[in-house]
Every structure is written in structure tokens, then in C-alpha cells.
Amino acid sequence: MKSGTIIKNNIARKNGGGVVIENTSTGNSNNFTMEGGFISGNQAVKNGGGIYNKSTLNLKGGTIGKTSTDEDWNKATDDSGKGGAIYQEGTCTMEGDIYVPFGYKERINDVYVMSPIKLTGALTKGSPSSPVMTLCRNYSYDWTTYNTGLSQDTDKSFIQTYYKNFGLIQRGNKDLYEITLDSNYVGKIKKSTTYIEISGTEFTGSSTLTRGGDYSQVFIAGRSINIPDLYVGKYELTQGEYEKYCSYGKAGTQHGPPASNFDTTENPSNYPAYGINWYDMFVYCNLRSMAEGLDPVYSFEGGETDPRKWPDVVKTGATGQEKYRGLAGQNDDWDKITMDKTKNGWRLPTEAEWEYIAANKNTSDTLYPGTNDLGTNGTYGWITTGDDTLDKPRQCGKCTNGVNGIMDLAGNVFEMCWDWYTTIDTGTSEDGGDIGDAVSKDGIKCKVVRGGGFTYGATAATVIRPIQNAISGSPVYNRITDRWNNCGARLVRTKVTP
């Protein structure tokens, strides 16, 4: 297929709306090479809206996907269909200036990979707005090739910018993979070390669970809770991650820790994001999900999931460099934002999910995440003690130990949860109590925070609900609008089987 060729608007009742590549009846390979042209607007009821490959496919140039506003995406239309752009189950190589823009959800110009796609071309041309080889932005449900083979480019800064545009890719219903650069700026695909997969469970409420001798206020007798399979942030949300899509609304919030005497040789992007509230996080999570081709989980009243269209959302930055954030003041409509955790987008954990993660999937009876003794700072967490008063958070992931590879669950910054702060009983939903039952401070409803922060001691860093100190026993929670220096977030995603 040469430049100028167009395969467009075809419909197949089964497989391969645009192109079908299968072995001959005698078992010999058929070869299809695409060196240019366009494959767009094609549909297959089952698999491979654009290309259905069970033989040999060579992709060297051209575009597979929507190329203008008056065209449509390649699609696999049936709910059981796979691969809107490409269904790959044969031999496939990808090189040169091939462009496969991702659609916006499963079966819409996505790539379903049953056997490896070998990427062999060097990244020597293109731009972030019209990149070379954008395959990795697509859903890839069974990706098995790890080394992209993209060679070093003379413009290293361009390669760095280019790879930052990639999201995570998913292999089947199993693992997350991520794009990385080695010291020679060679791109590789590897299993993600940024997010940890945690299997879920059903808690039937036969008895109240204990944590280091104290009773859980969440996993109580008589309450039923379903914890889905999750991808959990290995680290707390970093400033670098947050600033990619959102701006800060807290006066004085800066890039780096809140104290001015931090080590300037450290990378401030790796510090936890702080000075953010729940409204900010709803905006961030949905913007990031949309950018990565995931289904946003938070909806404004009426079902709108694009935060840029939410009433009164705050927009900052020049045209083409816009960033967004939530409101500073309380708003009844923003309080009514809903969450659909059956979707695969990024979100805050529920309180039950957070405690389940911190308690090693409910197999641990320790008082703190992973231990009954936090030891010295940096061993299991970052907290203030009588001998060690902290005036700032630490870079994410600097602790020696974690729980299932998940770091900084104790201290550093408090981690927001989805739930309103209410008293929990057997009838409380697994996603928390109703807003009408939530604790109020100064007339503003409060949400759950977990894990403790650097300005608090060990009593706030427990697996169970935190308290300010052992003498007062006062609970810790934040108003939905609070933007404190000691509070951030850790993201999760529901693992949705395609």
C-alpha cells in the first residue's frame, strides 16, 4: 500500500473492515506492507476494524485512524469485538513514519495484540503534535514485546518530550507497562514499577478485623465490602505528575516542599503534591484519565466527565498550555460530584480500599502499615516524634520499607480518600456514608484522610482511622475544600477486564 492510497468507510460483518491478512489455504503466509496512505472510518462487527492480521503485516508509513474532523475512527462495533484500529495475531513489524492515533476508548481505533509487534524504526523525525509511532498510546491488551528498538536520536530533548506524551499500556487483564528511557535515550517498554497490582476481595463482615490490637472502624462485623482488583500508586502523587495537568490554588504553594530549607540538589518534581483539595483531585484524575485514553470516573451533575466543562472550574495558563484546578470555596454542586469505580480511570481510593492496601490485603494485623514499630524516620514512614520534628515532606519513595512494594503509607503527607467522614455501621455503603451524615467544620462537610502527615505523630499514621494524639483521641479529617501542606493523594485504578 503506497502513499496516496485510501481504504475508507468499509464494513465487515465479521473481521477486518479495512484489510484482512490471513494465511493461504495451504498455510503459506500472505504479506501486507503499508508504506503510506490512510486507513480510516472502517468497521468490523467483531475484530480488526482497520486491519485484521493473522499472517504478516509490515507497517512502514501512513495513518491508521481518523485524519480529519469529517472522518470517523476505525471501529470494532460488537461488545465482544477487539481492536478498532488493528487486531494483531500474526507477525507484525512497525517502523518508519507510521501514525496510529488512539481513539478514546476500547474498540475505537485501539490496538489489540495477541502476538508481538516488533518496533524497529528509529525515532528520527516527527514532532509531539504529529509523532512517529504512537502505537504505545493505544490500549494494548496482550503486549509481549518489551524493547521497542527505538534508537538514540541526536535531539535528546525531543525524545524526552515525546515519551512523556505516552500513557501506561495494559497487557490483558494482568499487568501495566510503561515507557522508559535508558541512559542512552533508547526507549523500552517494561512492566510498570510506578503502580502495583493488588488483588481484591469480598469482606462478608463475619467479624470485626483488628489492627495491632485495635479494632478497625471500617471492616466491622455485619458490614459487606467488595474490594475490586486495583492498580495502586507505588508512591504518593508527585508534584511533577500533578503539574502536568493542574495548577495550585493555595497561596504560597511552590514547586518543592513547603519549607524553604530543603536540599536544592533534590528534584522537586519527586516530592508529593500538596496544597490540593478534593475538588482539585476530581479535576486532575479525570484530565489524566482522558489524556491516557481511560474512562473518567468522576461525573458532574448531568453526567459530564470532562472537567474543562464543569461550572466554575478554574483555568490558568496561556492558550495551548492551559491547566485547571477546582474551586477554593465550598460549592454544593461540586459536593455532589459522583464516582463510578467500575470504570478504569484514575481516582482516589475509598477508605476501605486504602485500609485494605495498608493492611496487606487484610492479611496483616500490624498497627502501622507493614509494622508494629515505625522505627526511625525513613524506615517505614515520615512522622514527627519528640526527637524528630519534621518541617517538610520527603521525596516520594525514600522509605526503606513498604507494603507489597507500596511506599510512604505512613506519614509524609496525609492521603485523601473518596469517603465523607461519617460514623460507620453495618448499613454503610462500601464507598462510605452519605454527605448528610458527614462531620462538618465551619459549615463545610469533611472527607476522610489516612496515613498521617509529616506534622503529626504516630497516632495519625495507623492502619485504622487516625487520631491527633493519644491524650485527646480527637479524630483527623479535612474539609473538602482544605488545601494543607501536609495533605496529598495516592491514586488507584480499578482493574477492568476487557
* pLDDT tens-digit readout, 212-244: 989 999 999 999 999 999 999 999 999 989 998
The DSSP bridge pattern shows strands 323-325 and 111-113 to be unpaired
CB 113 within 8 A of CB 140: yes
Pick the residue with more confidence: 69 or 83?
83
Mean per-residue pLDDT, 404-415: 95
Between the CA of residue 84 and those of 109, 110, 146, what are the distances in Å?
A: 4, 5, 23
Triad 490, 216, 274: Cα angle to 5°: 20
Cα 461 to Cα 467: distance, rounded to the nearest angstrom: 9
Mean per-residue pLDDT, 395-413: 93
pLDDT over 70 at 102, yes or no: no
Pick the residue with more confidence: 187 or 304?
304
Q: What per-residue confidence (pLDDT) applies to 367?
A: 95
pLDDT over 80 at 113, yes or no: no
The Cα diameter of the chain in Å comes to 81
Mean per-residue pLDDT, 305-334: 94
**Mean pLDDT of the residues in the chain:** 81
C-beta atoms surrounding 45 within 10 Å: 17
Which residue is listed with cell 486532575? 284
- What sign does the dihedral 318-324-328-330 (CA atoms) show? positive
| Among the listed residues 450, 358, 335, the one whose alpha carbon sits nearest the alpha carbon of residue 404 | 358
Mean per-residue pLDDT, 24-31: 84
**Rounded to the nearest 10 degrees, how much is the dihedral formed by the CA atoms of 214, 215, 218, 223?**
170
Mean per-residue pLDDT, 399-422: 95
Q: What per-residue confidence (pLDDT) applies to 254?
A: 58
Distance of CA 289 to the CA centre of its chain: 7
Measured in degrees and rounded to the nearest 5, phi and psi for residue 156 equal: -65, -35
| Among the listed residues 301, 304, 322, 326, the one whose alpha carbon sits nearest the alpha carbon of residue 314 | 326
Partnered with residue 178 across adjacent β-strands are 190
Share of the chain above pLDDT 90, in %: 54
C-alpha cell recorded at residue 31: 504479506
CB 133 within 8 A of CB 189: no
C-beta atoms surrounding 146 within 10 Å: 11
Q: What per-residue confidence (pLDDT) applies to 105?
A: 61
Mean per-residue pLDDT, 277-282: 98
Q: What per-residue confidence (pLDDT) applies to 125?
A: 29
Residue 183 CB contacts under 8 Å (≥ 6 apart), including other chains? none
Between the CA of residue 348 and those of 196, 265, 345, 391, 399, what are the distances in Å?
A: 15, 31, 10, 26, 22
DSSP at 173: T
Cα 456 to Cα 447: distance, rounded to the nearest angstrom: 18
- Residue 175, burial from CB neighbour count under 10 angstroms (0-12, 13-18, 19+): middle
pLDDT over 60 at 312, yes or no: yes
* pLDDT tens-digit readout, 30-75: 999 999 899 999 999 999 999 999 999 988 888 888 766 667 889 9
C-alpha cell recorded at residue 36: 503510506
Which residue is listed with cell 476487557? 498
pLDDT over 60 at 498, yes or no: no
| Among the listed residues 410, 416, 406, the one whose alpha carbon sits nearest the alpha carbon of residue 479 | 416
| Among the listed residues 442, 437, 449, 436, the one whose alpha carbon sits nearest the alpha carbon of residue 475 | 449
Q: What per-residue confidence (pLDDT) applies to 497?
A: 72
pLDDT over 50 at 145, yes or no: no
Question: Minimum mean pLDDT among 280-289, 329-338, 376-385, 436-445: which range?
Answer: 376-385
pLDDT over 50 at 139, yes or no: no
Q: What per-residue confidence (pLDDT) applies to 228?
A: 96
| Among the listed residues 219, 171, 194, 491, the one whose alpha carbon sits nearest the alpha carbon of residue 364 | 219
Q: What per-residue confidence (pLDDT) applies to 418?
A: 98
* pLDDT tens-digit readout, 361-380: 999 999 999 999 998 899 99
* pLDDT tens-digit readout, 155-185: 344 344 434 333 344 433 334 555 444 444 4
Residue 398 CB contacts under 8 Å (≥ 6 apart), including other chains? 378, 382, 408
Q: What per-residue confidence (pLDDT) applies to 385?
A: 82
Residue type, 90: G
Cα 496 to Cα 498: distance, rounded to the nearest angstrom: 6
Q: What per-residue confidence (pLDDT) applies to 173?
A: 35
| Among the listed residues 256, 216, 226, the one whose alpha carbon sits nearest the alpha carbon of residue 464 | 216
Q: Which of 170-184, 289-303, 429-443, 467-481 has the highest mean pLDDT?
A: 429-443
CB 127 within 8 A of CB 150: no
Mean per-residue pLDDT, 313-338: 94
Which residue is listed with cell 462487527? 45
